[in-house]
Amino acid sequence: MARKNRVAVIGASGRMGKAIIQVLSQSKVSELSAAVVSKGSVYLGLDSGLHSGLKQNEILFSDDLSKSISDSDTVIDFSIREILSDVLSACKEFKKPVVVGTTGITETHKELLKETSKMIPIVYSPNMSIGVNLLFKLTEIAARVMGDLADIEIQDIHHRHKKDAPSGTAEKLKAILLETLSRTESNVIHGRHGILPERDPKEIAIHTLRAGEVIGDHTVYFFTPEERVEISHKAQDRKTFAVGSVKAAEFLIGREKGLYDMFSVLGL
C-alpha cells in the first residue's frame, strides 16, 4: 500500500485545527505528522480532547515549527497571521507545499504568499468549504447576469468569538462582485446609520453580525424592482472547512509551484 501523505497542522489547538486532525484521522490518503500549537511548540498531551479518537502511536510529535514542517510532506496552516511569515519561510526552506487558511491576513501577507508561491505550491483561500466555493462561483454568475440591474447586499454572520470583520469570506464575495462588475472600493459601504441619501445604484453594502455560536452564514442578495435572488451558504459543522482543507493538501501532492485557490482544487 502506498505511503500516506504526511501533514503538519499548524494551529492545532484552535477550532479548525481540531477539526482538521479529526478528518486526517479518517483519511485514506493523508495522515497527521505533527500538531503544532504555535511557533516553537507542539501539543504533547491527549487530555484536552485535541486528539479525541486518536491513539498515541498515530501521532508523531516534534519539538519546534521547523522540524514539524521538515518531517512532513504537506502543511496546513490555520494558526494566526502573526506567525504566517515564519510558516511560509520554513515551508520555502524545506520545499514543502502549504495550505493557508489563516484568517484576517493583510495585503502585506497576500504579497508574501505571491512571492513564496514562486518557489513552492500554495493553496490560499479565505474559506476552504466546498459549498462556500460554490457560493463564490454562483455569485460570480449572478453578478454577470443581474449585477447591473440589481441592488446588491452581503450579509456575514459568525460566532461572537470571531475577531475579524467582515469575514474573509465576505471580503472574497465583495472582491468577486467588484471585479465582475468593474466597480471599486468607493462603491462599498459597511452597514448603515442615520439619515442617508437614496441608495446609489452601484452601491454594495456589507452587513456583519457577531453573535452566539454561529459557525458561519453568508448570503448575497440581488434585488430588482420585480424579484429578489438570494444565494446563501450556512455552515452546520466546522468539518466542512476541514474536509476542504485536507482535499486542498492532497491536491498539492506533486503540484508545480504557484498560488492556487479552491476553484483550482475543485475544478471550478
Return binding residues: 11-16, 39, 101-103, 125-128, 159, 168-169
Question: What is the four-CA torsion angle of 9, 12, 17, 19, rounded to 10 degrees?
Answer: 100
- Beta bridge mates, 123: 99, 260
Examine the residue annotation and report whether 162 is marked as an active-site residue of this protein: yes
Instruction: Detail the residues annotated as belonging to a binding site for (S)-2,3,4,5-tetrahydrodipicolinate.
Output: 159, 168-169
User: What torsion, rounded to 10 degrees, do the Cα atoms 47, 50, 56, 62 define?
Assistant: -110
**Annotation: binding site for NADP(+):** 39
51, 92, 96, 158: the catalytic one is 158
Taken as a whole, the chain contains a residue count of 268
Rounded to whole angstroms, the Cα distance separating 83 from 41 reads: 13
Q: Which of 162, 202, 207, 239 is catalytic?
A: 162
Give me the amino acid identity at 258: G
SS3 235: coil
CA atoms within 13 A on the CB side of 243: 11
Q: Which of 122, 127, 128, 93 is nearest to 110 (CA)?
A: 122
Q: At which residue does the C-alpha cell 493557508 appear?
A: 100
- The residues carrying an active-site annotation are 158, 162
